[in-house]
Amino acid sequence: MDAISDDALRKVVLSRSVIVRSDTAPDGFDLLHHLNGTYPRCFGFGWRVGEATFLGASPELLVRSVGGAVSSNPLAGSAPRGEGEEEDRALAEGLMRSPKDRSEHRLVVDDVVSRLGPFVDDLTVPDGPSLKRMATVQHLSTPVHGTLARPSHVLELVEALHPTPAVGGTPRAQATSFIDKVEGFDRGWYAGGIGWVNGSGDGEFAIALRCGLIEGAKAHIFAGAGIVADSDPDDELVETRLKLRPLLELLAAT
């Protein structure tokens, strides 16, 4: 928190990695099949290199560019889901009213809008966030839409946007430098962009979140939380546990 208090950073996203070992090696694509069934509103992905499989179910669209139409869906600011309808609604209302979470969310939206600006016309940005509810956590969400001002390959947009403050921080250079110094592990593919591109330069990329790297009988699972001036360390730790839970529960069941 000292770096943020000293105004060197406005936000930094710090991550943790949990290692799970089992007696038998799970099949990564079997796990992906279960993830897709359990989290149909997410971007399911799997990538196999040798005996290692990188997989996950991400809630966050980095960028989609198809036929000149461009969209992105920044997520930042999170709360747990409630045990029942009443608690769930109260947590959602608290998240929507939270000055800390709305400020954190705005940092991400402003950065995405600024970086898409040189590429698009007619950029539509809602006045305020809505809720995106997943199984264990709910997020503040702002869908952004625009039209390409000139022909641009989707990978140009990915390069301009990544890493957003949803996975890095702001200012970008200071945040990524701070992460390199303090995080203590190599993120690898975690928090990168993953998606598809066609021969016309259209494509869709999600941010690789809610994910893990399966290597034989060992799995590395990743989760992070955005730290701003008003963050509570205990709350941020709970948030990472909620984000780790889908893959942890899936591995425990296999």
Residue 69 CA to residue 148 CA, distance in Å, equals 6
- Look up 100 and say whether it is catalytic: no
Distances (CA, A) of 195 to 221, 246, 252: 20, 21, 28
Cα atoms in the Cβ-side hemisphere of radius 13 Å centred on 233? 2
Of 170, 40, 41, 19, the C-alpha closest to 109 is 170
Identify the active-site residue in 11, 104, 132, 204: 11
Which amino acid would we find at residue 23? Answer: D
Residue 83 CA to residue 108 CA, distance in Å, equals 29
Residue 85 CA to residue 82 CA, distance in Å, equals 7
Identify the active-site residue in 51, 60, 87, 156: 60
Task: Identify the three-state secondary structure at position 157.
Answer: helix
Q: Which residues are part of the catalytic machinery?
A: 11, 60
